[in-house]
Amino acid sequence: MTDKKTLFINDTEVEFTDEKTVLEVAKKAGIEIPTFCYRPDLTQFGACRMCVVEVEGRGIQASCTMPPRAGIKIYTNNNKVRKIRKAILELLLAHHDRECTTCSKSGSCELQKYSMEYGITDIPYVKMKQEEFSPIDASSPSIVRDMNKCILCGACVRACSEFQGIGVLGFSERGSLTKVQPMAGKPLKDVNCVNCGQCVSVCPTGALTIKSDIDNVYDLLNDKEVKTIVQIAPSVRVALGEMFNLPSGENTIKKIYSACRKLGFDLIFDTNFSADLTIMEEASEFVERLTKGENLPIFTSCCPAWVRYMELNHPDMLNHLSSAKSPQGMLSPIAKEIAPKFYEGFNKENIKVISIMPCTAKKYEAKRDELKGETDYVLTTYEFAKMIKQQGIDFNNIDEQEADSPFGQYSGGGTIFGASGGVAEAALRTAYNIVTGKNLENLDVMPLRGVDKASRSKEAAVDINGQTVKIRVVSTLAEAERAIKEVKEGKADFQMLEVMACPGGCINGGGQPSACKDLKTKENRAQGLYKEDRELKIRNCHENPDIIRLYSEFLEKPGSHKAHELLHTTYSNKSQKIKV
């Protein structure tokens, strides 16, 4: 006898095993129950009540918080349930700025979607007046907060405290006055927000959106005096397709190059190239620190949300951060300083660099005092997809093209930057080569892979010339904080710490199409990157011919004076905490 358990959904017998909620059981059985606040990566909250179902003998229950029990009979969409859901939608809409046409979330808004599906045609309540609206907070370089569109599902509050351990957003007041806001309603720029955009990513409505730079980029594209250089980050290529109904994880980079040319960008470089470059600098910095025994463990520095987190919360440990700029931060000065030597008509003064990133924090990074004037504008994957649509480009049927080279070629090591663990894996491949002169026998460092909840902290140990080097990889700042605590207490036995603020890494960044409703999306995107890594001829960053040429003709060697000038940066204490 097996312990097979079943329950009934809409009179059909359905098997279940270890699912925690009726909602999950239904989903597995092919029935999608509508919900706003349910996010499988966050704790269940039961706030929005959209997921109500009728349970025989127990009345109406929220399926996102109800554990499955053998034999129960559930109706997910009978007339009673439909009427309740309609009433919920009407009540949510009663207190909502319903100007959908001017909302940047229009088209991907869950409230809009369900209102349409449930046929809401009339709201029997008084419409909110303009003077009752709260002001929009556009103070942050990355995120726009419009509380007139908030439905109080609390997903952002949970994301900020559960993923990042920061808790910038919280509920305040109560009853009909309840709102979600930073401490005392301060603007986002004045609180310790790291701009990761996970709140945007889990928001079902237009309450939290990406700050758009689309118009700024159009201005550059239409300026005949300006030469535009675009760079595309690793994880954009495996997520952008989703905005055009392609499966998640499908690598569309060659279509992206083509779309960039159609949009009018003059040169197309790949951030994967500068990811290779980041590894060259970071791996040699790592080897140097290992040899000298200084500032260990080294902390990776490519995630701008993590860098800001360190500057805000652990200014005493900034010496651990690698001084290497992020891939975005490296490619922009290369494009402005060195590319003119290869491309006619380009000079430092007329070049503007636009980067396409999976990340809202990259917008902040581009505005950092230390990096000002290098990257001109940052578009997120979401914004870039919008531009492609606006220009009427048929993305699915577009021809495939190549990037411009030099500065367009890349290795597998650069590609895997997009998944949590990828930077460490690529760095390990190159560090091993620097020390031993040989390549790792097996380039796949499997223990560092995985983007699910259980893989938010992982470790690998590798023997390099008789010395065991231990690497810790974490994603989410809550996990990073735990690792930092170990370092502070002297308990850390690892020499390198890779941190990505978003759960699973950049593939799940705040600028990507939202992946918060289905855990498989993250997984598919990561697999898309590892697949490209396997299939590329060159998998080691140090073997990229564009990289070798860059060093031999311009930068001498990793860590050289010239390399430091262009490719390294500094950090400073930005703590806002009250000092006593």
Partner 1 sequence: MTELKTSVDFKKIDEILKEYNYNKTNLITILQKVQAIYRYLPEEAISYIGENIEGLSPATVYGVVTFYAQFSLEPKGKYEIKVCDGTACHVRGSMPVLEAVRKKLSLQNGKMTTPNGLFSLETVSCLGACSLAPAVVINEKVYPKMTPDAVLIIIDTLLKENE
Q: Which residues are catalytic?
A: 282, 285, 302, 322, 362, 365, 370, 506
547 lies in the site for partner 1, by CB under 8 A: no
Q: Which of 144, 191, 416, 502 binds partner 1 (CB under 8 A)?
A: 191
454 lies in the site for partner 1, by CB under 8 A: no
Tokens representing 164 are: 């990042």
Question: What is the x/- site pattern for partner 1, positions 370-409, by CB under 8 A?
Answer: ----------------------------------------
577 lies in the site for partner 1, by CB under 8 A: yes
CB within 8 Å of 61: residues ≥ 6 apart: 22, 52, 53, 54, 55
501 lies in the site for partner 1, by CB under 8 A: no
Minimum CB distance to partner 1 smaller for 438 or for 577: 577
203 lies in the site for partner 1, by CB under 8 A: no
Minimum CB distance to partner 1 smaller for 90 or for 162: 162
Q: Of 161-169, 247-255, 316-324, 338-346, which segment contacts partner 1 by CB under 8 A?
A: 161-169
224 lies in the site for partner 1, by CB under 8 A: no
Distance CA 411, CA 396 (A): 26
187 lies in the site for partner 1, by CB under 8 A: no
188 lies in the site for partner 1, by CB under 8 A: no
176 lies in the site for partner 1, by CB under 8 A: no
Least Å from the CB of residue 6 to partner 1: 40
Least Å from the CB of residue 78 to partner 1: 37
Distances (CA, A) of 375 to 185, 371, 410: 31, 8, 20
Q: Which of 60, 70, 87, 183 binds partner 1 (CB under 8 A)?
A: 183
Q: Which of 133, 171, 468, 520 binds partner 1 (CB under 8 A)?
A: 171
Q: Of 84-92, 182-190, 340-348, 450-458, which segment contacts partner 1 by CB under 8 A?
A: 182-190
Helix (H) or strand (E) holding 387: helix 381-390
Least Å from the CB of residue 459 to partner 1: 24
CA 421 distance to own-chain centroid: 14
CA 112 distance to own-chain centroid: 24
Dihedral pair phi/psi, residue 104, rounded to 5°: -70, -10
166 lies in the site for partner 1, by CB under 8 A: yes
Judged by CB under 8 A, the chain residues 67 through 106 that form the site for partner 1 are none
Minimum CB distance to partner 1 smaller for 154 or for 511: 154
Q: Which of 253, 244, 230 is nearest to 529 (CA)?
A: 253
Least Å from the CB of residue 175 to partner 1: 10
Minimum CB distance to partner 1 smaller for 1 or for 580: 580
Tokens representing 288 are: 């140097």
Q: Of 99-107, 175-183, 345-353, 376-384, which segment contacts partner 1 by CB under 8 A?
A: 175-183
Dihedral pair phi/psi, residue 429, rounded to 5°: -55, -45
Minimum CB distance to partner 1 smaller for 287 or for 312: 312
Least Å from the CB of residue 178 to partner 1: 9
CA angle, 309 as apex, 158 and 163 as ends, to 5°?
20
Q: Which residues pair with 143 in a beta bridge?
A: 210
Judge whether 371 and 325 are in contact, CB under 8 Å.
yes
Determine the 3-state secondary structure of 252 from DSSP.
coil
Q: Which of 64, 155, 168, 424 binds partner 1 (CB under 8 A)?
A: 168
Q: Which of 104, 112, 148, 181 binds partner 1 (CB under 8 A)?
A: 181
Note if the bond before 406 is cis, omega within 30 degrees. Answer: yes
Q: Which of 39, 518, 30, 533 is nearest to 242 (CA)?
A: 518
CB within 8 Å of 169: residues ≥ 6 apart: 156, 157, 160, 180, 181, 182, 199
CA 383 distance to own-chain centroid: 14
Distance CA 49, CA 28 (A): 20
Q: Which of 174, 292, 438, 491 binds partner 1 (CB under 8 A)?
A: 174
Q: Which of 68, 182, 408, 421 binds partner 1 (CB under 8 A)?
A: 182
161 lies in the site for partner 1, by CB under 8 A: yes
The one-character DSSP state at 180 is E
139 lies in the site for partner 1, by CB under 8 A: no
Starting at the edge strand found earlier in the chain, the sheet holding 267-270 runs: 267-270, 227-232, 351-357, 377-380
Least Å from the CB of residue 154 to partner 1: 11
Size of the residue set binding partner 1 (CB under 8 A): 18
Tokens representing 450 are: 């995985």
Neighbours of 393 (CB within 10 A): 17
Least Å from the CB of residue 156 to partner 1: 11
CB under 8 A, 24+ apart: contacts of 438-443: 439/540, 443/412, 443/539, 443/540
578 lies in the site for partner 1, by CB under 8 A: yes
Q: Which of 25, 169, 217, 471 binds partner 1 (CB under 8 A)?
A: 169
580 lies in the site for partner 1, by CB under 8 A: yes
Longest Cα separation, the chain: 78
Stated length of the chain: 580
**Residues at the site binding partner 1, with contacts judged by CB under 8 A:** 161, 166-174, 181-184, 191, 577-578, 580
